[in-house]
Amino acid sequence: MKKTILTKKKKKMNRLIMSFFIIIIGLIILFFGIALSVSLGAKHIDLNTVLSIMISPTNDINSKIIHDIRLPRVIAAALVGAFLAVSGAIMQGITRNPIADPSIMGITQGATFTIAIAFAMKANIGSSGLMIFAFIGASLSGIIVFLLSSRSIKGVSPIKLVLAGTALGTLLISLATAIAMYSNLSQELSFWIAGGLVTAKWEGVKLLASVGVFGVIAAIIISPKITILSLGEEIAIGLGQKTNIIRFIGIVIVILLSGSSVAVAGNIAFLGLIVPQIIRSLVGPDYRFIIPCSLVLGANLLVFSDIAARMINQPYETPIGALTALLGVPFFIYIVRKEATSL
């Protein structure tokens, strides 16, 4: 008995050490990625100049490029990557579905669709208005997917959840594309449909940070509850947990994080699927460790994806959503095959 308790304590300590290691190394790599992203572009600025300008800003052209264009873009990339990764982790926990993700569930596509409607209305609503439209779209698509997937005696089925989300997401992206073509807004809306950070500005970054920080803090607070819920409905109820309330809070957090991310960066797919799976294999099933580690790894993944998107086909920019899909689709197939063989 003592040996079993000691083994459990040792495993928990190892996971804690691994989590701290991932976070610290991840933050160091993220700082390097931010400096590299700021230095690269149509006008190359060496790293020494970047660091000196970030420490003591000047009024020259390099300082304006860094502070007005490149810095808000890379900070937006880090925040969006972090928030989408946390959204994916929460969704996988509350649905007990390893392939759950805001893009697969149709939530990011719903936000993109309502942004397309806002553009078609030609309303001058600014970043805050776009974020409200994104929240509405994310909320409606999330509600529809859960209603469609829960119409059975056994409740929410993981397979129905994915099928309903994929079908609805495809429909909403198709409608957004149709609206863009009908309203002669294809160029303006291609950014949101394909995903990218070219229009990231300080106003959007500030709104994203204010909404996202609240969502992340709430996610960390309920992370022990998500861990219990991920063990199974019966176990969670047996331990006195109000599963419906936890699911509702989790969905609200996902809508806040994914909706604000889409309002800034457009439709970026599969990031919320890849990151939590990698972190879970390293730190185990405890969401107290998964959520903070996913936050750091998600930020890194999108920052370096943004660098790659700018470098692949210079001077043109590759849609960042295409790069994350290129990584995510093989990973999605691998997870599905793994789950199928384990049945």
Helices 158-182, 126-149: inter-axial angle, 10-degree rounding: 140
In this predicted structure, what is the pLDDT of residue 81?
Answer: 92
Helix axis angle, 243-265 to 71-95, nearest 10°: 150
Tell me the two tokens of residue 339: 């789950």
pLDDT tens, 223-281? 999 988 888 778 888 878 887 788 888 888 988 898 888 888 888 888 888 899 889 88
Domain boundaries, the chain: 72-342
Distance CA 133, CA 111 (A): 7
Q: What is the pLDDT of residues 172-216, one digit of tens each?
A: 888 888 888 888 777 777 777 777 787 778 888 888 888 888 999
Q: How far is CA 179 from CA 99, 260, 288, 321, in A?
A: 30, 22, 42, 20
Yes or no: say if 232 and 241 are a contact pair by the CB < 8 Å rule: no
The whole-number pLDDT of residue 136 equals 85
The pTM of the full predicted model, rounded to 2 decimals, is 0.88
Rounded Cα distance, 310 and 70, in Å: 12
Q: What is the pLDDT of residue 118?
A: 84
More confident residue, 294 or 121: 294
pLDDT above 60 (res 1): no
CA 35 distance to own-chain centroid: 22
Q: Do the beta carbons of residue 134 and residue 211 sit within 8 Å?
A: no
Q: Which superfamily does 72-342 belong to?
A: ABC transporter involved in vitamin B12 uptake, BtuC (1.10.3470.10)
For 148-157, write each residue's pLDDT tens digit: 776 655 555 6
